[in-house]
């Protein structure tokens, strides 16, 4: 199986030994504590699960600025985005040991314990520098920029020990998996070559067929459908609805033992190209050999070019930075001429009228009225689940 990023073995920061974990939980009750924001809490969950391997905790300001500028830490480790604990809380001192409390669970239980190496003030100019590099814009209407600029101006760096996985295990017991668990499951399947499909949305026919195309073109043993389970922007479909629709699609339309349906506990950044590279790091740490990168991967609005998330791997990611390889995909749609789903680049003789193309707004309006989109666009079983959700939403 492919090696994790940056090390020979995966280094998850979750304290797996129950006796040690209970001792740390008891210690945490007597430690000074801060309430994390959702972004820092999601970073802790991802560190705990091994997704941010080989990091041992939150980055300091020098590493954060270096990663924002050229995707390498001060010591030369390739990493696509800063992994930060930005806060507005005061009173934390360098050299202290503190409890990190979860903002997303009632009662704010301790999520992790942190050994604070440095407490640094971040200027507005430094925040803007990082935001512009990560998101390619400073537009306050960009949801990622708006979130990033609201996190605080005090940066806490240092190693952490993670004590739980926030609400993800409780809310998504059949879906949430750590990178460790995914690696183990891939090994149990006996798979050597695995392609990953990233999603924050339900999967329609085009997505389904894209997964098949990638599996066939690459000759993989299976596919990891890996959905984001954390915070999204308003209007995005909730994780539980997306989960149900994807499971139904796989159950009905994929052969048994060819698909792993999993999810991870992270808040969406909407960072387009940089987030696509982060997704590649996640999947290498999961043991996948390939990642599908399609049109407008991890994008939002019109902030990124349709294929910027592919060209960043060709133009900015060093050849030796990742072992995982990228499967570049074009926009995929049902061809009326060929009676099947194709990548548009593979049908140069087609006009737009030769494809079944529907906007997200049009699909939502149809589903909200209980009208199923054409079967060439969405499987009826998937459309039923989404229609029930939209009709409930609009009632």
Residues 6+ away with beta carbon under 8 Å from 282: 46, 51, 179, 226, 264
Supply φ then ψ for residue 99, to 5 degrees.
-95, 140
100 cis-preceded (ω within 30 degrees of 0) = no
Q: Are strands 290-293 and 97-101 parallel, antiparallel or unpaired?
A: unpaired
Would the CA dihedral through 70, 75, 76, 78 be positive or negative? negative
CA distance 88 to 367: 42
101 is known as an active-site residue: no
Q: Which helix (H) or strand (E) holds 246?
A: helix 239-253
Name the active-site residue from 201, 212, 328, 364: 201
Task: Give how far Cα 138 sits from Cα of 134, 149, 259, Å.
Answer: 10, 9, 39
350's tokens: 């087609």
> From the CB of residue 128, how many other CB atoms can be counted at a distance below 10 Å?
14
Two structure tokens written together for 132: 């512009």
Q: What is the DSSP letter of 189?
A: H
Taking the CA atoms of residue 40, residue 41, residue 46 and residue 50 in that order, the dihedral angle to the nearest 10 degrees is: 100
Exposure of 302 by Cβ count < 10 A (0-12 exposed, 13-18 middle, 19+ buried)?
Answer: exposed
- Of 11, 108, 192, 200, which residue is the catalytic one? 200
Tokens 């903002």 locate to: 103
Angle among Cα 24, 88, 279 to the nearest 5 degrees reads 70
To the query of whether residue 200 is one of the catalytic residues in this protein, the response is: yes
Active site residues: 200-201
């Amino acid at each position: 199986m492919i090696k994790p990023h940056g090390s020979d073995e995966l280094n998850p920061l979750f304290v797996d030994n129950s006796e040690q974990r209970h001792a740390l939980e008891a210690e945490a009750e007597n430690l000074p504590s801060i309430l994390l924001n959702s972004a820092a809490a999601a970073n802790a969950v991802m560190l705990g699960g091994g997704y941010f391997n080989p990091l041992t905790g939150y980055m300091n300001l020098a590493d954060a600025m270096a990663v924002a500028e050229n995707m390498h830490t001060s010591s030369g480790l390739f990493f696509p985005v800063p992994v930060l604990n930005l806060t507005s809380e005061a009173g934390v001192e360098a050299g202290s040991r503190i409890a990190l409390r979860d903002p997303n669970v009632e009662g704010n239980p301790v999520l992790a314990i942190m050994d604070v190496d440095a407490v640094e003030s971040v200027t507005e100019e430094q925040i803007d520098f990082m935001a512009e590099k990560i998101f390619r814009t400073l537009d306050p209407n960009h949801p990622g920029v708006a979130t990033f600029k609201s996190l605080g101006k005090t940066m806490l760096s240092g190693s952490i020990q993670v004590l739980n996985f926030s609400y993800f295990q409780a809310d998504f017991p059949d879906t949430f998996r750590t990178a460790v668990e995914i690696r183990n499951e891939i090994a149990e399947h006996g798979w050597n070559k695995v392609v990953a499909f990233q999603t924050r949305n339900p999967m329609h026919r085009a997505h389904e067929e894209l997964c098949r195309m990638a599996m066939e073109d690459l000759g993989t043993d299976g596919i990891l459908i890996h959905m984001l389970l954390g915070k999204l922007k308003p209007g995005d479909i909730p994780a539980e609805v997306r989960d149900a629709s994807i499971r139904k699609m796989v159950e009905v339309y994929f052969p048994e033992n060819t698909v792993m349906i999993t999810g991870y506990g992270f808040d969406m950044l909407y960072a387009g190209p940089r987030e696509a590279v982060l997704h590649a790091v996640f999947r290498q740490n999961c043991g996948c050999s390939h990642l599908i990168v399609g049109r407008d991967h991890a994008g939002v609005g019109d902030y990124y070019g349709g294929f910027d998330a592919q060209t960043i791997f060709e133009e900015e990611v060093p050849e030796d930075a990742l072992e995982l390889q990228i499967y570049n995909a074009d926009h995929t749609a049902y061809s009326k001429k060929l009676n099947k789903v194709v990548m548009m680049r593979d049908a140069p003789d087609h006009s737009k009228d030769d494809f079944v193309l529907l906007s997200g707004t049009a699909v939502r309006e149809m589903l909200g009225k209980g009208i199923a989109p054409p079967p060439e666009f969405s499987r009826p079983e998937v459309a039923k689940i989404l229609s029930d959700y939209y009709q409930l939403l609009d009632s």
